[in-house]
């Protein structure tokens, strides 16, 4: 399907094969991130752990990813993408097997740290390599696929983990570890070396020498890049702040049943994948990245406000789908725009992208959960304020043609 989708674009066979492996690897790692969700209650009850133990275990993954992502990104810029990706998949396999074989809390914690390091190596490096080997015309489609793999892994992980847990609550981790091992061998055997892949000649011809660390710092501190990084933080904070309390909010305020919530989240997953895989490239060509980011912020703001003033379940469901779809377009649109800024620092830029996403993923649920204790509407009011400010901020970004 990937080959068919990219068939309309002039792309070499080696590039298509590399992109397929990158998409599969990103999907696999994100699947592993979310496999643990349905198994948490079994681990907590089986080993008599506290809620604090489980919270620390979960946060260690995001914390490691936050610290390691920009460092790993810079390393992949200097030493190549393939070695980083292979080591990342090996660490992914190791983290899943560690989780499967142990019944000690400290080993679970180590497993999540190794898993966070793995995600920091695979996800931003895959994005960086995709940017290295595609032209600007091809890139929106490829990043749409990688974003769909990212979202698809997170969406399918809990369901798959729940099914496998019926066999044994450690089964999801054995299966994920085996898939990681197979993916690592596939990466070694099938992913061409960096110098065997086509590069962005049309972009790199304007930069005759490799940018050094000073030039990279100057780039990262430039106004457009800082604004885009702020938007990444806001979008990840907004999504997690919105999503983390969604089930509680609609259950308490609108009396949603578990079946209602499941229907909404299932439709959201299908719609988001459709937009990212099929429509994202067309939307970028039609609107350009800046307008797509702007409209996504506005739609997510409007949908959040609609949920707070809605009176029926149907209204809430429609508004929810608008919000989630807008959020799922924001990340690939911002990432696509960032990859076009500097061809020689893709690893560093994508590493910082993932690092800031991790920050939003950590603070979003914490702040929303705290505000929810005061009033059911406070979390969404705060999210709405951040979104509308970001909407107006997009007018400060000039799209270079």
pLDDT tens per residue across span 350-396: 667 777 777 777 777 778 877 887 888 888 999 899 899 889 988 88
- Give tens-digit pLDDT for 90-104: 999 999 999 889 888
- How confident is the model at residue 11, as a pLDDT? 57
pLDDT band at residue 198 under the 50/70/90 scheme: low
Q: What is the mean pLDDT of the chain?
A: 78
pTM score above 0.75: no
Please tell me the distance from the alpha carbon of residue 159 to that of residue 154, in angstroms, as a whole number.
10
Specify whether the CB–CB gap between 165 and 46 falls below 8 A. Answer: no
The confidence score (pLDDT) of residue 215 equals 54
Mean of pLDDT values over 316-336: 87
The span from the CA of 143 to the CA of 152, in Å, is: 14
Instruction: Look at residue 7 in the predicted model and tell me its pLDDT.
Output: 46
Give 172-177's long-range contacts (Cβ < 8 A, gap of 24+). Answer: 172/35, 172/36, 172/39, 173/35, 173/39, 173/96, 173/97, 173/99, 173/100, 174/96, 174/97, 174/100, 176/28, 176/31, 176/32, 176/35, 176/92, 176/96, 177/93, 177/94, 177/96, 177/97, 177/100
CA distance 59 to 227: 27
Q: What is the pLDDT of residue 202?
A: 42
Query: What is the arithmetic mean of pLDDT over 57-82?
Result: 80
CB 61 within 8 A of CB 102: no
What are the chain's domains?
A: 10-194 (1.20.1250.20), 214-394 (1.20.1250.20)
């Amino acid at each position: 399907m990937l080959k068919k989708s990219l068939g309309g674009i002039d792309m070499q066979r080696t590039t298509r094969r590399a992109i397929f492996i990158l998409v599969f690897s990103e999907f696999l790692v994100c699947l592993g991130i979310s496999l643990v969700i349905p198994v948490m209650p079994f681990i907590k009850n089986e080993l008599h752990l506290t809620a604090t133990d489980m919270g620390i275990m979960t946060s260690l993954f995001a914390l490691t990813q936050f610290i390691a992502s920009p460092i790993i990104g810079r390393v992949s810029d200097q030493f190549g993408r393939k070695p980083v990706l292979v080591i990342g998949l090996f660490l992914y396999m190791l983290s899943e097997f560690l989780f499967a074989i142990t019944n000690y809390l400290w080993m679970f914690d180590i497993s999540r740290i190794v898993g966070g390091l793995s995600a920091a190596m695979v996800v931003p490096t895959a994005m960086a390599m995709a940017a290295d080997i595609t032209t600007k015309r091809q890139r929106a489609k490829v990043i749409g696929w990688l974003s769909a793999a990212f979202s698809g892994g997170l969406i399918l992980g809990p369901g798959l983990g729940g099914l496998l847990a019926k066999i044994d609550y450690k089964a999801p981790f054995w299966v994920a570890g085996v898939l990681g091992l197979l993916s690592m061998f596939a990466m070694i055997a099938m992913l061409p070396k960096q110098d065997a892949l086509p590069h962005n000649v049309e972009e790199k011809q304007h930069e005759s020498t490799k940018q050094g660390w000073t030039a990279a710092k100057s780039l990262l501190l430039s106004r457009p890049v800082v604004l885009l990084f702020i938007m990444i933080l806001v979008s990840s904070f907004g999504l997690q702040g919105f999503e983390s309390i969604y089930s509680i909010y609609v259950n308490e305020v609108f009396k949603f049943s578990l079946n209602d919530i499941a229907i909404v989240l299932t439709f959201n997953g299908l719609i988001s994948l459709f937009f990212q895989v099929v429509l994202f490239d067309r939307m970028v060509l039609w609107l350009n990245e800046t307008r797509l980011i702007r409209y996504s912020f506005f739609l997510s703001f409007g949908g959040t406000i609609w949920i707070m003033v809605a009176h029926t379940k149907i209204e809430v469901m429609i508004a929810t789908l608008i919000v989630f779809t807008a959020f799922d377009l924001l990340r690939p649109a911002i990432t696509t725009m960032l990859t076009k800024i500097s061809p020689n620092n893709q690893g560093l830029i994508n590493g910082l992208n993932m690092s800031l996403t991790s920050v939003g993923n950590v603070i979003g649920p914490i702040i929303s959960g705290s505000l929810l204790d005061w009033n059911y509407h406070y979390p969404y009011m705060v999210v709405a304020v951040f979104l509308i400010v970001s909407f107006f901020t997009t007018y400060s970004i000039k799209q270079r043609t």
